[in-house]
Amino acid sequence: MTDGTGALTRPIEYSFEFFPPKSEDAAAGWWRAVEALSAYGPAFVSVTYGAGASSQAPTFDAVKRLIDETDLVTASHLTVVKATSSEVDNVIRRFRDAGVKRFVALRGDAPDGVGTAYRPHPGGYANAAALVAGLKAIDDFDISVSAYPEKHPESADRAADIAMLKAKADNGADRALTQFFFDNDVFEDYLNDVRRAGVTIPVLPGIMPVQNLNQLKRFAAMCGASIPDFLEKRLGNLVDDPAAHFEVAADIAAEQVLDLQKRGISEFHFYTMNRSKLLIAVFDRLGIKPAESASDEKMLGRTG
């Protein structure tokens, strides 16, 4: 890692999130992104997972390909909605038998859609904390869980939200990956509250380089994340200038990482949206370079 103007002063560790492709064309683009980003040696990558049997197959296929065709440390997301605990346990064992040793344990969205009241499935795991315990009862998996700097939209308040994070940590979670955010003061305040509550596991900030501002606003509305005024001011007038939007979006993400490092953060989780170019531009600004050959680095757990 180089140290120049705007570059990181110390190495960081980072992981990448992908989602399973839904078509052959999407699969080709996803794999190109995997190949491009694997050269940066992430600590691990994760693949998202939806509710119900129809969403399991794409995740399983994507995770299996990553395990079979790369040396990337791969985690599968897992949710508890629309399934009994025994059905979820069977999924866990199937993924384990395919070589999965890491999971991102999540409750999942309410079965009736975002904004509706969540009801546990009859005979299912009640929440993500219960899922963590269930995973640990099956095997000694490495487990990541979610965290919400701006509070989960269904939590009564921040204290209740952090109490759930503590339950997940107490049941064996190894780290937390946050929902994306753009105000680092909010994250720092949240992390201080988390530590005061006795939660000691690493909390990795989720960084979302802005591919599309309008799309981001829709995501934010669904998950309770806020869009600061500065983001609108810097990107709002660039909708019709994709080249300029790209450069400014890369600047914003790099600036956020640099500021978080100044605040003592050394591990990050990046939401790739199955695209590589913008994240590579962010890394270039941070002074993070790919290995000369991904195979030389075994595409495993290296920083630039």
Q: Contact, 76 vs 102, CB < 8 A?
A: yes
| φ, ψ for residue 40, nearest 5 deg | -90, 0
- Cα distance between residue 179 and residue 243, in whole Å: 27
Q: What value does the mean pLDDT take over residues 261-265?
A: 97
Residues whose CB falls within 8 Å of the CB of residue 217, separated by 6 or more in sequence, listed in order:
227
What is the chain's mean pLDDT, rounded? 90
Of 6 and 32, more confident: 32
In this prediction, residue 297 carries a pLDDT of 41
Q: Tokens 């969540």 map to which residue?
A: 118
> What pLDDT score was predicted for residue 156?
86
Query: At residue 211, does pLDDT exceed 60?
Result: yes
pLDDT score, position 141:
98
17 is catalytic: yes
Give per-residue pLDDT as tens, 138-175: 999 999 999 999 988 888 899 999 999 999 999 999 99
Looking at residue 114, what is its pLDDT? Answer: 58
Question: What percentage of the chain exceeds 90 in pLDDT?
Answer: 77
Question: Which one of the listed residues 17, 35, 69, 232 is annotated catalytic?
Answer: 17
Convert the pLDDT of each residue in 215-231 to its tens digit: 999 989 888 899 999 99
Structural tokens at position 58: 């794409």
pLDDT at 116 over 80: no
What domains are defined for the chain? 13-286 (3.20.20.220)
As a whole number of Å, the end-to-end CA separation of the chain is 5
Residue 295 has pLDDT above 50, yes or no: no
Q: What is the mean pLDDT of residues 60-87?
A: 95
- Asked if residues 46 and 275 have their Cβ atoms less than 8 Å apart, the reply is no
What is the per-residue pLDDT across 30-72, written as a single tens digit (0 to 9) for each? 999 999 999 999 999 999 986 554 568 899 999 999 999 999 9
Confidence of residue 5 (pLDDT cuts 50, 70, 90): very low
**pLDDT of 109 strictly over 80:** no
How far, in whole angstroms, is CA 255 from its chain's centroid? 19
Full-model pTM:
0.91
3-state secondary structure 207-265: ECCCCCHHHHHHHHHHHCCCCCHHHHHHHHHHCCCHHHHHHHHHHHHHHHHHHHHHCCC
- Distance from chain centroid for Cα 115: 22
- DSSP 8-class letter at 46: E
| Continuous segment of H or E residues that includes residue 120 | none
